[in-house]
Amino acid sequence: LVLPGSTSAPLLVQSIGQVLAAGRQAAPHPLEERNVPRFYARGEVIRFSPDAVLEIREGFVAQTIIHPDGAEVLLGLFGPGQLLTPHPEDDCLIQLRAHTEATIRSEPWEAASRRPDFAMRLRTRLWQMEAWASMQVRPYLEDRLLGILTLLAEQFGRPQPDGVLVDLLDSSKA
């Protein structure tokens, strides 16, 4: 757990409690889970080795950051087929959490980078992150919300007779 030095006492207590609770779940060691899909319950924090690349097989994963004042901000949502990479240990508290039940496969960077589609999938992930960031900085709340909904519709939407359905609860339809 890495927290900024200016973290408030209540946030520190909350964060330590979350880490201790997660530690009791007896998650496998990252080296033991490589190339083996692992199931995560909704709300479970996803931990993995710093030299791993994760691929979401089923479900949705939320990436968030907790600011020193305790505010939690959504950095992105990811679904089946998408890659996730670790964040280096620094002053940020960036975490991955299963938004729904999720099945995720872990693979070492070395092996993942040899896959023929790896560079394109990583490039797509970077484009999505840039698009999400550009929506977050829009000055008006309505514009931000519309922009984020548009990104989610492009990424996970299914055409319906009266619009586009974005269902982040059922990954079998993504």
- When mean pLDDT is compared across 70-74, 111-115, 123-127, the lowest value belongs to 70-74
Query: Per-residue pLDDT for 36 more than 70?
Result: yes
How far is it, in rounded angstroms, from Cα 22 to Cα 7? 20
Transcribe the chain into DSSP letters.
----TT--HHHHHHHHHHHHHHHTT-PPPGGGSBTS-EEE-TTPEE---TTEEEEEEES-EEEEEE-TTS-EEEEEEE-TT-EE-PPPSSS-EEEEEESSSEEEEEEEHHHHTTSTTHHHHHHHHHHHHHHHHHHHT-SSHHHHHHHHHHHHHHHH-EEETTEEE--SS-GGG-
Radius of gyration of the chain (CA): 17
Mean predicted lDDT score pLDDT of the chain: 81
pLDDT of 51-94, one tens digit each?
Answer: 889 999 999 999 988 877 878 888 888 999 999 887 766 667 88
